[in-house]
Amino acid sequence: MMIAAPSVVVFGSLHYDIIVKGPHRPRKGETVTGSAWHPKCGGKGGNQAVSAARHGVKSAMIGAVANDSFGHALRANLDMHGVGTQAVRTVPGAGSGMSVAIFDADGDYGAVIVSGSNFALGEEDVSAAAELFVGGSVLVLQNEVRDAANVLAAQAMKKAGGRVVLNAAPARTPSPELSALVDVVVVNAVEAEELAEVPEVNSLDTALAAARILAKHYPAAVVTAGGDGVAFVQADGYAAKVPAIKVTLVSTHGAGDEFTGVLAAELARGSTLEHAIRAGNAAAARLVSSPHA
């Protein structure tokens, strides 16, 4: 049976997150007494697919989970948010992907991820989801799966006439094969420093400078600078800085994924890149200021 093609296809990671709240993130050898913990369904891929669906655009996830409690929860979360899961494969062997994120009193965090079943993604998954790669759709990729798997998915979408958005997170320089297939690269300050090989991105001006370097290699480069805002440069030379929306910060967790998911949804609707960035910026501001995000 044919599956109606979505506007946003996310190929990538699904992680079951354990969120821990403490006074600060522990230093080497330090034990910190936390105040609370709770589980959350995530992974950059899963978060971005949910964000696109919540933004009112049809989306589907291509991912891999194990036959364990984490995998069942991850699949159920996508279903609950209206994300297509026909291309989410259950694989034997390694457990589902998971992460532990430790938050400090200011709402900032550090995390450790265990990729598990996410590293099983590859040619089998791209072939099985062939009907999702169609002209007009937007493919979203991240760096939480193997570069070679991302290349296969990007090739399939470009062949079909769609566009490719790469959220190059965590920081990892894409292979030349992948870079050549990307239409829009999205990075935060830390990732921009590595990919653009600049010493520091700590303002909108330095974010714009990094975006100019990245735009030499991609049709469009978007650099998010946290509480300062977003800068972007297109290959045609158009550049702009979008200031952050001032809010009371509750937690930064998931802000980048919310931004990327909404940006992709707007691009799928036919919006300009600048409009998509402004929509993603507003969505991320709502997320970081919401105690129930």
Q: Which of 107, 182, 175 is nearest to 139 (CA)?
A: 182
Nearest Cα to Cα of residue 293 among 40, 99, 25, 24: 40
Query: Are the beta carbons of 216 and 194 closer than 8 angstroms?
Result: no
φ/ψ of residue 173, rounded to 5: -70, 120
The SS3 call for residue 164 is strand
Beta strands in 44-96 (DSSP E): 59-66, 84-91
173 neighbors 185 (Cβ within 8 angstroms): no
Q: How many CB atoms lie within 10 A of CB 85?
A: 18
- List strand residue ranges (DSSP E) for the chain, in order: 8-11, 15-21, 36-42, 59-66, 84-91, 97-103, 109-114, 138-142, 163-167, 184-187, 220-224, 229-234, 239-243
Contact 146, 120 (CB under 8 A): no
What is the spatial distance between Cα 230 and Cα 201, in angstroms, rounded to a whole number?
11
Cα distance between residue 89 and residue 202, in whole Å: 40
SS3 of residue 162 by DSSP: coil
The H helix count followed by the E strand count for the chain is: 9, 13
Other Cβ atoms closer than 10 A to 286: 14
| Candidate list 17, 125, 183, 257, residue with the active-site label | 257
The answer to whether 257 is a known catalytic residue is yes
Catalytic residue positions, numbered = 257
